[in-house]
Amino acid sequence: MIRDQETMNVLLDNVARFVRERLVPNEERVAETDEIPADIVDDMKALGLFGLTIPEQYGGLDLTMEEEVLVMFELGKTSPAFRSIIGTTVGIGSQGIVIDGTDEQKAKWLPKLASGATIASFALTEPESGSDAASLKTRAVRDGDHYVVNGTKRFITNAPQAGIFTLMARTNPDEPRASGISAFIVEADTPGISFGKRDRKMGQKGAHTCDVIFENCRVPAHNVIGGKEGVGFKTAMKVLDKGRIHIAAICVGVAQRVLDDALRYAMERKQFGQPIAEFQLIQAMLADSQTELYAARCMVLDAARKRDAGENVSTEASCAKLFASEMCGRVADRAVQIHGGAGYMADYGVERFYRDVRLFRIYEGTSQIQQIVIARNMMRAAAR
Ligand code: COS
């Protein structure tokens, strides 16, 4: 749902210009330094990018899902690390509070997230609990008006920058699966929290992940999201349903960027006396990429509109994330191929995207987890 087309056009123009003029020229610098310059982060705050999905009453833009994916189509047209620095605050780090938080929790945290003053991060994955998220072992034991948290969270995006974590921990040890899990808001400077070394990654330089270690960390009981124990896994799944549509939209944006670059290269690069774009085997790669990109864009928009209409989009979110992330991988692979030898060389940038997009098929649920979610939902619907 688009609430006001004119306002939306202004926002999309602003984001597109920001990507073109501020982010694209800094891609190599970010890749080399593994840091997003502070002045760029400040500009992102000024543009309101941290508050895209925070309700207006708390200072955000309160974008609908359709509006959010349209913005991500634009923001995707540059290195994914730029999206990543706002991504957890716009998405998985904040949405637990937005969807299931109490009024007090919203009033306390959302304004700081909307302005970008505080970065939110999502702490679900553990050393022994990845795809099987319900098996997580981090414990939160009630002690008076606090919980004492012990455990380790792994590969946590933006953990080094985070001001708060949406933490999933087990409050009921007698329930080894989902119903024993609660969601918490945990301030990053709470005593008992420490951080592992920054992970060294295949790509997405400038986006940082690390372990977050909780040792007898005392979290106020009123920080249980929604004030209710035992429903934290459901909160996490609701957050991921939304997050998966967001990631699928980013995949569309990045694929568009690399395809644009490949097309430009194919039209400029001459071999056998003519631009290589004139050769049908190159055209096949361009056309297949365009077709798949179009399909992914349609899927993302449809899933977003259905979510805006209040429908359960667990299946559509997984379908969109599965298809768009796999599509993006294929498009990046073809873009390298179209560039030939230049595609393998760092100076042309396309190999960097090839490495960057590999993550899309893994985080916020691997392609195989999306397949499981889709098939299970199909079987449940058929059984009803
Ligand atoms: N929305 C709301 N509730 C949901 C839900 C959703 N999308 N999906 C599941 N639930 C509920 C279920 O209804 C069930 O509740 P009841 O017991 O009351 O019926 C509960 O959550 C447990 O669900 P389920 O039994 O399906 O859980 P499983 O352990 O079988 O696993 C998967 C579910 C595999 C889908 C989940 O673990 C998953 O998504 N794993 C990937 C994790 C991931 O994406 N990690 C990335 C980290 S963030 S970068």
Domains of the chain: residue spans and CATH = 5-115 (1.10.540.10), 120-230 (2.40.110.10), 234-383 (1.20.140.10)
Decide whether any atom of ligand 1 lies within 6 Å of the 233 Cβ: yes
pLDDT number for residue 70:
98
CB 234 within 8 A of CB 311: no
pLDDT number for residue 250:
98
Q: What average pLDDT is seen over the chain? A: 98
| Mean per-residue pLDDT, 289-313 | 98
CB 290 within 8 A of CB 335: no
Minimum CA distance residue for ligand 1 atom 10: 234
pLDDT digits (tens, 9 = 90+) for 43-98: 999 999 999 999 999 999 999 999 999 999 999 999 999 999 999 999 999 999 99
Decide whether any atom of ligand 1 lies within 6 Å of the 168 Cβ: no
pLDDT digits (tens, 9 = 90+) for 189-214: 999 999 999 999 999 999 999 999 99
Distance 272 CA to ligand 1 centre (A): 55
pLDDT digits (tens, 9 = 90+) for 269-282: 999 999 999 999 99
Cα dihedral sign, 314-319-320-326: positive
Asked about 364 being catalytic, the answer comes back as: yes
pLDDT number for residue 128:
97
Could you identify the atom of ligand 1 that is nearest to the CA of residue 155? 49
* Percent share of the chain, pLDDT over 90: 100
